[in-house]
Structure 1
Amino acid sequence: MKSQSSTLLAEVRSFRQNHPDVRYVDLIALDIPGHFYGKRYPVEMLEKVAAGSPLKLPQNAVLLGAQGGLFKIGDYCFNDGDPDANRRLVPGTLKPVNWESQPLGQMLITSDGTQAPIEFEPREVLAKVLERLQHQGIHPVVAFELEFYLFDKQLENGLPQFARDPLSGDADDQPNLHIERLSRFSDVLDDMAQTAKDQGIDITVITAEIGPGQFEINFGHCDDGLRAADWAALFCRSTRGVALKQGYRASFMAKPYLQFPGSGMHVHVSLYDAAGNNLLAAHQQQPLRHAVAGCLELLPHCMPIFSPNHNAFRRLGGTVNAATRASWGFEDRDACVRIPESDPRNLRIEHRLASADANPYLVLAAILVGLEHGLETKREPIAPLNEDRNSGTDFPVEMLDAVRAMQQQPVLRDKLGAEFVDVYCENKRQDHLAFQQEIHAHEYRWFL
Structure 2
Amino acid sequence: MKSQSSTLLAEVRGFRQNHPDVRYVDLIALDIPGHFYGKRYPVEMLEKVAAGSPLKLPQNAVLLGAQGGLFKIGDYCFNDGDPDANRRLVPGTLKPVTWESQPLGQMLITSDGTQAPIEFEPREVLAKVLERLQHQGIHPVVAFELEFYLFDKQLENGLPQFARDPLSGDADDQPNLHIERLSRFSDVLDDMAQTAKDQGIDITVITAEIGPGQFEINFGHCDDGLRAADWAALFCRSTRGVALKQGYRASFMAKPYLQFPGSGMHVHVSLYDAAGNNLLAAHQQQPLRHAVAGCLELLPHCMPIFSPNHNAFRRLGGTVNAATRASWGFEDRDACVRIPESDPRNLRIEHRLASADANPYLVLAAILVGLEHGLETKREPIAPLNEDRNSGTDFPVEMLDAVRAMQQQPVLRDKLGAEFVDVYCENKRQDHLAFQQEIHAREYRWFL
Report the TM-score when normalising by structure 1: 1.00
- Deviation of 1:103 after TM superposition, in Å, equals 0.2
Hey, what's the Cα distance between the residues in 2 that align with 1:298 and 1:14?
A: 45
Q: Give secondary structure in 2 for the equivalent of 1:366.
A: helix
Hey, what's the Cα distance between the residues in 2 that align with 1:186 and 1:318?
A: 31
Cα deviations across residues 102-144 of structure 1 (Å, max 9, x unaligned)? 0000000000000000000000000000000000000000000
- Deviation of 1:213 after TM superposition, in Å, equals 0.1
Q: Which residue is equivalent to 1:128?
A: 128
Cα deviations across residues 383-433 of structure 1 (Å, max 9, x unaligned)? 000000000000000000000000000000000000000000000000000
Q: Which residue is equivalent to 1:304?
A: 304
Hey, what's the Cα distance between the residues in 1 that align with 2:126 and 2:159?
A: 35
Q: Which residue is equivalent to 1:269?
A: 269
Hey, what's the Cα distance between the residues in 2 that align with 1:364 and 1:292?
A: 15
Hey, what's the Cα distance between the residues in 2 that align with 1:91 and 1:108?
A: 8
Hey, what's the Cα distance between the residues in 2 that align with 1:441 and 1:417?
A: 41
Kindly tell me the number of residue pairs found equivalent between the two proteins: 448
Hey, what's the Cα distance between the residues in 2 that align with 1:131 and 1:411?
A: 17
Q: Does 1:108 align with 2:92?
A: no
Hey, what's the Cα distance between the residues in 2 that align with 1:441 and 1:375?
A: 50
Hey, what's the Cα distance between the residues in 2 that align with 1:59 and 1:199?
A: 27
Hey, what's the Cα distance between the residues in 1 that align with 2:203 and 2:398?
A: 34
- Deviation of 1:268 after TM superposition, in Å, equals 0.0
* Equivalent residues in 2 for 1:196-215, closer than 5 Å: 196-215=196-215
Cα deviations across residues 195-253 of structure 1 (Å, max 9, x unaligned)? 00000000100000000000000000000000000000000000000000000000000
Q: Give secondary structure in 2 for the equivalent of 1:66.
A: coil
Cα deviations across residues 146-166 of structure 1 (Å, max 9, x unaligned)? 000000000000000000000
Q: Give secondary structure in 2 for the equivalent of 1:25.
A: strand
Question: Cα RMSD between the aligned structures?
Answer: 0.2
Cα deviations across residues 282-341 of structure 1 (Å, max 9, x unaligned)? 000000000000000000000000000000000000310000000000000000000000
Q: Give secondary structure in 2 for the equivalent of 1:350.
A: strand
Q: Give secondary structure in 1 for the equivalent of 2:244.
A: helix
Q: Does 1:99 align with 2:96?
A: no
Hey, what's the Cα distance between the residues in 2 that align with 1:158 and 1:174?
A: 22
Q: Give secondary structure in 1 for the equivalent of 2:25.
A: strand
Q: Give secondary structure in 2 for the equivalent of 1:240.
A: helix
Hey, what's the Cα distance between the residues in 1 that align with 2:295 and 2:446?
A: 41
Cα deviations across residues 363-395 of structure 1 (Å, max 9, x unaligned)? 000000000000000000000000000000000
Hey, what's the Cα distance between the residues in 1 that align with 2:240 and 2:318?
A: 25
Q: Does 1:441 align with 2:441?
A: yes
Hey, what's the Cα distance between the residues in 1 that align with 2:167 and 2:24?
A: 37
- Deviation of 1:440 after TM superposition, in Å, equals 0.6
Q: Give secondary structure in 2 for the equivalent of 1:212.
A: coil
Hey, what's the Cα distance between the residues in 2 that align with 1:73 and 1:318?
A: 35
Q: Give secondary structure in 1 for the equivalent of 2:304.
A: helix
Hey, what's the Cα distance between the residues in 1 that align with 2:176 and 2:292?
A: 32
Report the TM-score when normalising by structure 2: 1.00
Cα deviations across residues 42-88 of structure 1 (Å, max 9, x unaligned)? 00000000000000000000000000000000000000000000000
- Deviation of 1:178 after TM superposition, in Å, equals 0.1
Hey, what's the Cα distance between the residues in 2 that align with 1:230 and 1:68?
A: 21
Identity of aligned residues (%): 99
* Equivalent residues in 2 for 1:282-293, closer than 5 Å: 282-293=282-293
Q: Give secondary structure in 1 for the equivalent of 2:120.
A: coil
- Deviation of 1:183 after TM superposition, in Å, equals 0.1
Q: Give secondary structure in 2 for the equivalent of 1:416.
A: helix
- Deviation of 1:40 after TM superposition, in Å, equals 0.1
Q: Which residue is equivalent to 1:43?
A: 43
Q: Give secondary structure in 2 for the equivalent of 1:263.
A: coil
Q: Give secondary structure in 1 for the equivalent of 2:6.
A: helix
Hey, what's the Cα distance between the residues in 2 that align with 1:196 and 1:352?
A: 23
Hey, what's the Cα distance between the residues in 2 that align with 1:28 and 1:266?
A: 24
* Equivalent residues in 2 for 1:361-440, closer than 5 Å: 361-440=361-440
Hey, what's the Cα distance between the residues in 2 that align with 1:240 and 1:109?
A: 20
Q: Does 1:159 align with 2:197?
A: no
Hey, what's the Cα distance between the residues in 2 that align with 1:14 and 1:142?
A: 29
Hey, what's the Cα distance between the residues in 2 that align with 1:55 and 1:95?
A: 19
Hey, what's the Cα distance between the residues in 2 that align with 1:237 and 1:320?
A: 27
* Equivalent residues in 2 for 1:205-354, closer than 5 Å: 205-354=205-354
Hey, what's the Cα distance between the residues in 2 that align with 1:168 and 1:261?
A: 24
The 4+ residue runs of structure 1 with deviation greater than 4 A are: none
Hey, what's the Cα distance between the residues in 1 that align with 2:157 and 2:100?
A: 26
